[in-house]
Amino acid sequence: MRARPRSFGRQEVQVDTDARLLDFRFGFGSSGEVAHVAGHDRVKALILQVLLTTPGERVHEPEFGCGLLDLVFEPLSAVTIATLRYRVRRGLIRWLGDLLRVSEVDIAESTVNDMSCFEINISYSLAESPGRTEGLALRLRRDG
């Protein structure tokens, strides 16, 4: 078990990089226990938590998140895309910078079943294996 100190305001917290994490979509495993994720699935769950949390949503960490959902209904323009890229990259570096290195954030608009969507593709490498690139794709529906 490796734990690295991480400073949050005045408080220092030990982050266990080998620990299991409750699955991001809370649920139960096949034998009835609470579902956990580990390894690369754990990192993807952490990325989703940063991306889908709006700052101010967490009482004890009011700055946590990247505000991605605030821009979902904005008109797609070069400014919106640049803002989305900046917020995603900044949020991941700030909250998960000790676990991963973000190499690229690509944002595009697409249509799926007549629904307008943002497609967010993130390329990153884990800090412990910098030569291996991983990816995560997220699609956010823009209209109801």
Burial of 122 (0-12, 13-18, 19+ CB in 10 A): buried
Instruction: State pTM to two decimals.
Output: 0.72
What is d(CA 59, CA 120) in angstroms, rounded to the nearest whole number?
Answer: 27
Contact 88/66 with Cβ under 8 angstroms? yes
Q: Is 107 helix (H, G, I), strand (E, B) or coil?
A: strand
CATH topology for the 3-141 domain = Nuclear Transport Factor 2; Chain: A, (3.10.450)
| Per-residue pLDDT tens digits for 47-99 | 998 998 999 888 888 999 998 888 877 877 889 889 999 999 999 999 999 88
